[in-house]
């Protein structure tokens, strides 16, 4: 009976629990997001798994399947633990996670997130007054993953800087905060320049725009627009006072995208070692987690 009662409505009176289990700020935020996606449920294609044909103890309502999926993202829960909590078979958990990752990837991915320049300027925060042509603040994000058994694949996902197996993506936000660009994940060995080339970002940038990047992001020769970055000297002449202030200002503004990376990793699936078992849908899971940050605190 306890397992049957485990679900979203069990925590409706506790925003703290909703935040813990889903990363949404409150039950009201979560329900408003549900109202946005519920009309698209008839288009959902259930992914059948051939892992185990044992019937489930009982089926879940769509809203509790959604809650289970959010638990998986937010807590990085083991599939067997979710099966025990919800009173379903583990094969059903895998099916629910795969089905909902594909569904949300399709529904949320169909909404254009790249914001037109005039809208960015209209919502430009006062902090960016000295950099009014900033269109996007970008950063790379590295996610730890299980190392494959193949030595060749291990070399592909090994990060040169972090000496471990990782997946790497490029993410961008508008100056006023929302996520406006998400690349697919690449193996951790890819360089920042190469991931920028392959991400599709260059096709969105125009000469009148500016992109804000980290001090070590070497994309000057490939972007068609202005670049703002904090400059750091090591062992050279002292930086002029004006350049010091500019560097400090840009570094402060870049904190916004660094905060976003932390928010993505608040989905504990991506703040721990991603299991090889979800590699088939890891791009969908990652993209959905990034897109959800636009809804979790502001609806």
Which comes out higher in pLDDT, residue 136 or 55? 136
For residues 186-202, give the mean pLDDT: 93
* 273 domain residue, yes or no: no
Residue 239, pLDDT score = 62
Per-residue pLDDT at 139 exceeds 90: yes
Per-residue pLDDT at 279 exceeds 60: yes
For residues 184-208, give the mean pLDDT: 94
Segment 204-242, tens digit of pLDDT? 999 999 999 988 888 999 999 999 988 764 444 566 666
* 290 domain residue, yes or no: no
* 295 domain residue, yes or no: no
Burial 129-148 (b: 16+ CB within 10 A, else e): eebebbbbbbbbbbbbbebe
* The total number of structural domains that make up the chain: 2
Residue 150, pLDDT score = 61
121 plus 99 within the same structural domain: no
* 299 domain residue, yes or no: no
- Note down the domain range covering 234: 117-265
Neighbours of 38 (CB within 10 A): 13
Per-residue pLDDT at 57 exceeds 90: no
**pTM as predicted:** 0.88
104 plus 152 within the same structural domain: no
Query: What are the CA-CA distances from residue 260 to residues 5, 7, 257 (Å)?
Result: 34, 28, 5
135 plus 251 within the same structural domain: yes
132 plus 257 within the same structural domain: yes
Per-residue pLDDT at 55 exceeds 50: no
Segment 250-267, tens digit of pLDDT? 888 888 888 999 999 999
| CA–CA separation, 297 and 283 (whole Å) | 23
């Amino acid at each position: 009976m306890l397992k049957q009662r485990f679900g979203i409505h069990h925590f409706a009176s506790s925003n703290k629990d909703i935040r813990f289990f889903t990363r949404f700020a409150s039950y009201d935020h979560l329900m408003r997001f549900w109202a946005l996606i519920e009309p698209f449920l008839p288009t959902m294609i259930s992914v059948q798994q051939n892992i185990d044909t044992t019937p489930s103890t009982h089926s879940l309502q769509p809203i509790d399947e959604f809650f289970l999926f959010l638990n998986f993202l937010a807590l990085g829960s083991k599939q067997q633990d979710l099966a025990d909590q919800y009173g379903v078979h583990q094969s059903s958990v895998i099916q629910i996670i795969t089905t909902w990752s594909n569904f949300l990837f399709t529904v949320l991915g169909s909404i254009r997130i790249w914001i037109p320049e005039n809208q960015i300027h209209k919502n430009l925060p006062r902090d960016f007054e000295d950099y009014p042509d900033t269109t996007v603040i970008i950063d790379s994000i590295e996610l730890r993953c299980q190392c494959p058994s193949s030595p060749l694949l291990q070399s592909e996902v090994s990060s040169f800087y972090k000496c471990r197996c990782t997946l790497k993506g490029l993410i961008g936000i508008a100056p006023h905060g929302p996520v406006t660009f998400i690349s697919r994940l690449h193996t951790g060995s890819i360089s920042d320049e190469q991931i920028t080339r392959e991400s599709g970002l260059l096709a969105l940038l125009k000469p009148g725009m500016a992109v804000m990047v980290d001090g070590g992001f070497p994309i000057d020769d490939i972007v068609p627009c202005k670049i703002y970055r904090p400059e750091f000297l090591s062992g050279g002449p002292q930086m002029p006072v004006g350049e010091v202030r500019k560097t400090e200002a840009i570094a402060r503004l870049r904190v916004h995208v660094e905060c976003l990376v932390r928010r993505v990793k608040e989905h504990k699936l991506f703040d721990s070692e991603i299991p090889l078992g979800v590699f088939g849908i890891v791009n969908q899971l990652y993209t959905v987690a990034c897109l959800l940050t636009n809804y979790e605190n502001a609806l």
